[in-house]
Amino acid sequence: MGAPCPHQHVIDKNFSAKLLAEKKEKCCEWCGAGGCSLRLCLYSGCLRVGCGEGHADHSTLHNAQFPAHCITLNLTSLRSWCYMCEMEVTSSVLASMTIPLGQQHHLGGPISAPGVAVAQPITPSQSSAEEDDEEEEGEEVKAKGLVGLRNLGLTCYMNAALQAMSNTVPLAQFMIECPAFLRNDRKTPGLTRPFQRLMIEMWHKKRPSFITPSLLYHGFKQLYPMFRGYTQQDSQEFLRYFMDQLHEELREPLVVSHEDDHEGDMEEEDLSAESLSEREDSQSEAEYETCDSGVSEQSSGSSDHYPSKRKKRHHATIDVETGIATHRSHNRSLFLPDHESPEFSDAVSDTTLLDSDSAGGMSSSASPQVHSSSTSGLGSSKPSISSLSSSFKGKPCGTPGRRRKPPTYRSVISDVFDGTIVSSVQCLTCNTISSRKETFQDLSLPIPSSDQLSILQHSSASQLQQVAGSSVSSSSLHLAKTSCDTATDGWMWWLWMWLRSWLWGPAVSLHHCLAAFFSADELKGDNMYSCEKCGKLRNGVKYSKVLQLPEVLIVHLKRFRHETMFSSKISQYVSFPLHGLDLTQFLHKDCSSEVVTYDLYGIICHHGTAGGGHYTAYCQNWSNHRWYEFDDQYVTEVSSETVAKCEAYVLFYKKASPEMAARRQRTVELMQVSSREPSLMQFYISKQWVNKFNTFSEPGPINNYDFLCPHGGVQPQKANHVGDLVMLLNQGVWEYLHQVFGGGPACTRLYECVTCRAELDALSRRQTSELEMFLMLKKMFQEEEHPNIVAISMRWFRTWESFVRGREQEPPGPIDNSSICTSKTGQPVLKPGSDYAQISEEMWHFFYKTYGGGPELWVMYGNPHSSARRIEKMEGVRQEAQKQEPLQSESRSLSTENLPHTSTCTSRQRTVSAGEVRTKFL
């Protein structure tokens, strides 16, 4: 069991049952919300009532403002929660309070698992202490996680996906063991906290037979209104939205050292404006599509039940027909042929160009282009806004001639599910190869028909032989040989397969689906490749390879076809391995992954037709390695043979590495030795990396930048709770882990970084100053009789607004009006119907002077003589504000020094003692 809460001394000792009854009749003291999510702050002398996550979550905001007010009481369930310990403390609170609360008020036992306060090992074995407790009680030891989810009305799609995510060990254990990393500055309710609480309840020792996930469901519907109502939904659709929302809430900038950052800046400077323009103007990989391809021509269509909703999704997936990945884009297109997607010709993928080397030693940075007579816009020289915008993209203030490198974000979602693929097109005339590196979160695979299987097995080798001497030949020919093995095992086998196919249909395996996806497609006829080097339409070959394998591989089988007038489902059985899925033959020669085999742990199945049906899930419990069927609130143990025969819709595979089990065992032995012989030197290590060590097959290098800044100090935003982010290791354990995995940096002392604190304070002052200046100019704009009006892109303005509101820490970069302008007689003019806002000339000059960019797009030019006077007045106000700013800053500094809870906001170093850090590693 976990240690008792050490913060009980803050509870108001005079709290009585009578006062509790009075508080239960109240509403939120901030927004007036009522209902069943009210929480009472138990801090002595406070006793304020705030709303929970079902509303504006003022209770959590109150704790963020006053960290000492850490214990709250749910006025409905009478459960208590400690924000500092990140666990339920109901029993301890009841013991220390004077109100006579009976056990009848305590519903279902504690929410928090014992591992929340002190991190536990995340290996498949259970906590020995908890098992001993259960055995001492004489109860049958039952595996955790076997909890059903109540159907709230056609929510089986959500329940099946949540069961699969619950059995995704790296994600579920992160939610349970690393609660301090779930903090975010969002002022609106999200999905992270409800999902975390759901995971804790499902994996707790004292769990109910089923749980009602109403809080998560209602929060999801608020974020995505298309899931409201009682209609049939797609489980994979939900899964993508859900994962993307978690990523957005948990994402953090990727911190790098000064040396790495300098190298990145040098590489960024090497990119010319022309190459950047080419990247923006490059055609999407959707234009690689070969409508006459034997594999992809008649492949199963889009699996989306609601294709119109997917255009604004933030997810990473690889589409079946094109074999191309897209990465979390708000404006994602479906990358389907023109008869299925009208936006096919305008789709632009969010990708990164790789260095492209031709066979003759030449390099080409041109984007692959394909000519198609059946698709409008393909192969044409349509004018692009990016070429127009390259001439006016200004430079940010203070950084002349240099583009700011956009920040890279990561989260536990990207760590677990993100992989990388390389898509290439080779010209068969000059052998020039154009490649793109893309991120994916799942593979959407076709289910080949019998004709497609025959074409795949007999034509892959002959197609790839045309690329003799190129880098694609060796690896792809190996794929073709493997795909055709079943056709060369003898005529008896061929006869049996033919007879079986004639009687029961073609025998399709997951390997066939992968081979169809990664097979090379010829670009010829109406789909010829527009080679930049040749300057002509040429025959080409399109192929894809995996550059980095994800820790968890999600495979989506495209069983649904949606035509204009009807929808249909492919009920073809697809065999799949339960163990040892080997992806070696699909890897790029530069693949960085060492573990290439996967074991199955979860399946989402759809029962019924395209018009309606039911979703269930099969999951392997990681505590006892047995398979269970999750059918809403019912959980039933099944055999592995039953699992292998199911009609799979979404498959979940995790990497398998026996070496990691040996490394974990060695770490445990070293910790036992160090407990008997304590070392003189101790090292801090990130809890998030420890979770990777315990759950990943390839945890990667040690990364202490989860809590450290590039200067080696603690990030100012995390100084208050850094003790919850780290663990303390003895020297021997640290040296072993560092020797095996590398990384770092080493940390033996925790202190707040003075440099980052000064930068953060300066950034905060800049955000406040820009916001105040904008509001002042906006007021002048509303009062002006005949103002000059300029248009500005709302896309850029929303980015700037997020910055000045404090939701983002990175400035927006130069103004980019390319999306709202078009060219007329060689001059940029406002595009009708585009997404823009009207601002005054003074507001435009303020933005332009600060960020640069453009172009300037006039909506109305009123009085040219009044502009100069207004600009002079604006500069006078700016100078006056700058004079007052040092005085206000000094006043704020003096006032904050008198507040004990704001001591970490000063520029002094704050040292965190080792006693504040939990020392249990495994």
| 615 phi, psi to nearest 5 deg | -105, 135
Q: Which residues contact 868 (CB under 8 A, 6 or more apart)?
A: none
Task: Tokens 């119907």: give the residue.
Answer: 833
Nearest of 810, 187, 745, 742 to residue 753 by alpha carbon: 745
| Catalytic-role residue among 218, 614, 646, 738 | 614
Specify the long-range contacts of residues 3-8, CB closer than 8 Å, at least 24 apart. 3/117, 3/118, 4/89, 4/92, 5/71, 5/82, 5/85, 5/87, 5/89, 5/92, 5/93, 6/85, 7/70, 7/71, 7/82, 7/84, 7/85, 8/71, 8/89, 8/92, 8/93, 8/96
- Please identify which of the residues 70, 85, 156, 619 carries the catalytic annotation: 156
To the query of whether residue 156 is one of the catalytic residues in this protein, the response is: yes
In 348-477, the DSSP E strands lie at: 352-353, 369-370, 409-410, 419-427, 433-440, 443-445
User: Is-contact 852 395, C-beta < 8 A?
Assistant: yes
Tell me the chain's radius of gyration from C-alpha atoms. Answer: 30
Which structure tokens are listed for 808? 């983002």
Rounded-to-integer distance, Cα 110 and Cα 77, Å: 11
Sign of the CA dihedral with 658 first, then 662, 668, and 674 last = negative
Q: Is 512 a catalytic residue?
A: no
Task: From 88, 107, 114, select the one nearest 208 (Cα to Cα).
Answer: 107
CA distance 62 to 76: 19
Which residue type is seen at 435? S
Cis check: omega of the bond before 855, within 30 degrees of 0? yes
Q: In this structure, are residues 73 and 40 in contact, taking their beta carbons and an 8 Å threshold? A: yes
Neighbours of 437 (CB within 10 A): 16
Close Cβ partners of 793 (under 8 Å, ≥ 6 residues apart): 815, 816, 817, 818, 819, 820, 835, 836
Length of the chain: 922
Q: Which helix (H) or strand (E) holds 911?
A: strand 911-912
Residue-wise burial string across 690-729, b where 16 or more C-beta atoms lie within 10 A, e elsewhere = bbbbbbbbbbeebbbbbbbbbeebbbbbbbbbbbbbbbbb
Active-site positions? 156, 614
